[in-house]
Amino acid sequence: MLRLLIEPVTPDEPGYISLKTESTALNFNMLRRLEENWERGENRFNAPGEKLLGAFLNGKLVGICGLNRDPFSQQPRAGRIRHLYISESCRGLGIGRQLLAVVMADASVWFDFLNTNAPHTAWTFYQHAGFTQVVDEPRVTHRLFCAI
């Protein structure tokens, strides 16, 4: 039986290095950037409404997702889904969908909409999650308006 736990995480979490190594080997740099920004103190996911969560499958870290105020938007209530990565061996199990749902659970308290800049391989994932494609803004591929 698979047991999924979603809870706050940091790059110091056991298992983070192997997840980062896997993502980098697959040419995804989001976990490397997350760790670098964390170490420099540039992004600790600690402002109001922000969070960084990990998905643990049977105790092993298999996914990461964060939510920040969007640093690239002029809108003060713009949020941004950051660094979503699910281990390649765990894709297709619904872990990404569940992790994203928990990250976004109370987003409307803090944000009017959520942006993301997803790799092309994740576009269908975000569209199935209710995001719409954005074609006319730099650093935004998809957006979801939060329910009020």
Average pLDDT over residues 125-131: 97
Percentage of residues in the chain having pLDDT higher than 90: 97
Average pLDDT over residues 98-118: 97
Mean pLDDT score of the chain:
96
| φ, ψ for residue 70, nearest 5 deg | -75, 110
Nearest-5° Cα angle at 33, 105 to 39? 95
Model confidence at 1, pLDDT cuts 50, 70, 90, reads confident
Tell me which DSSP letter residue 136 carries: S
Cα dihedral across residues 40, 43, 48, 52: positive or negative? negative
pLDDT of residue 138: 93
pLDDT of residue 121: 93
Three state DSSP letters for 4-68 = EEEEECCCCCCCHHHHHHHHHHCCCCHHHHHHHHHHCCCCCCCCCCCEEEEEEECCEEEEEEEEE
- Selection from 11, 24, 107, 98 nearest residue 61 by Cα: 11
Say whether 127 sits in a helix, a strand or coil.
helix
Is pLDDT of 25 > 90? yes
Is pLDDT of 148 > 90? no
pLDDT of residue 147: 73
